[in-house]
Amino acid sequence: MTKFKAWINAARLRTLPLSISGILVGSALASYYGNFDLVIFWLAIFTTIGFQVTSNFANDYGDGIKGTDNQNRIGPKRMLQSGLLSRKALKRGIVVSIIIDVLLVVSLLFFSFGRDELGWILFFLILGGLSIWAAIKYTIGKNAYGYQGLGDIFVFLFFGLVGVLGSMFLFIKTIPLSSLFPAIAIGLLSAAVLNLNNLRDHQSDKESGKNTLVVKIGFLNGKLYHLVLLAVAFLSILMFMIITANNWKEYIGLLAFIPIIFHATKVKSIKNPAMLDPELKKLALSTFLMALLFYFSYYNFS
């Protein structure tokens, strides 16, 4: 494998649609509530991609040096574990990625707030810094929160509430109460993707000391928790549509829950964790599909 391909693998491009989902929903909400700007939209997309790539580099590094990524791991090959990228190279990649993130955040805030809204600029700079911190501290460091069963909470907060509500605020400078429902839905679906990953890896995580929520509550309870996440996500998005929809077209996003229902049925019946690996892609892409359908349903094309 070439170095270029190794870096592409370390970036884990298949995780990007999920990270973009929150921006799509937040941008659609902004348009629905009255304002949209194409420059802010694309800068927000590139910023969230930057955060996700930083997180993926950091996860490869953190799990690699802790020995969590080993020969017992079920999922895709990791670059540090396989020796295709060195510790030094991955560290350098993380630093370069953070620099790019900072430049993107500053550019996004400049186009959103200009030079006058210094208070909001400072607030979102702090939020951006916390996003970078969360991307790194999931697996890196002595007190990595991913090793303490807190990953689900951080994913819910940053993929859901921050991703959806934060991106929406960049456009309209307010947060309507009803917008909490789609933000909760995206956050729960994103947490479900992480939970599925932890269900798949629960045995190797347990052996290597990575105390994810699934390791703490057990495989069967982890599957039940997974179904609850999916059900509440559906109810949240449905509640928003009941409150706001003016015609049947605005319910189209619910179609994405058809494959999610099949996914939930499959997860419920699976006993071998290795069989969960294909379900990760299905759930992530179904979440992305829901975000896309939501975008085209609620974006104001007039």
Report the C-alpha gap between 64 and 299 in whole angstroms. Answer: 42
**pLDDT on residue 283:** 96
Counting as low any pLDDT under 70, the low residues of the chain are: 1, 66-77, 83, 302
pLDDT at res. 203: 86
Domain borders along the chain are: 13-298
Q: Which residues fall within 8 angstroms of residue 218, CB to CB, at 6 or more apart?
A: none
Whole-model pTM: value is 0.92
Q: What is the pLDDT of residue 73?
A: 56
pLDDT in tens, 128-181: 999 999 988 888 877 888 888 899 999 999 999 999 999 999 999 999 999 999
* Angle (nearest 5°) at CA 232 between 229 and 234: 110
Helix H, strand E, coil C: the string for 182-199 is HHHHHHHHHHHHHHHHHH
What is the C-alpha separation between 9 and 188, in angstroms, rounded? 26
CA-to-CA dists, residue 81 to 58, 70, 181, 265, angstroms: 13, 7, 39, 33
Express each pLDDT in 70-82 by its tens digit.
565 566 667 777 7
Tokens of 25: 């929903």
Amino acid 220: pLDDT: 94
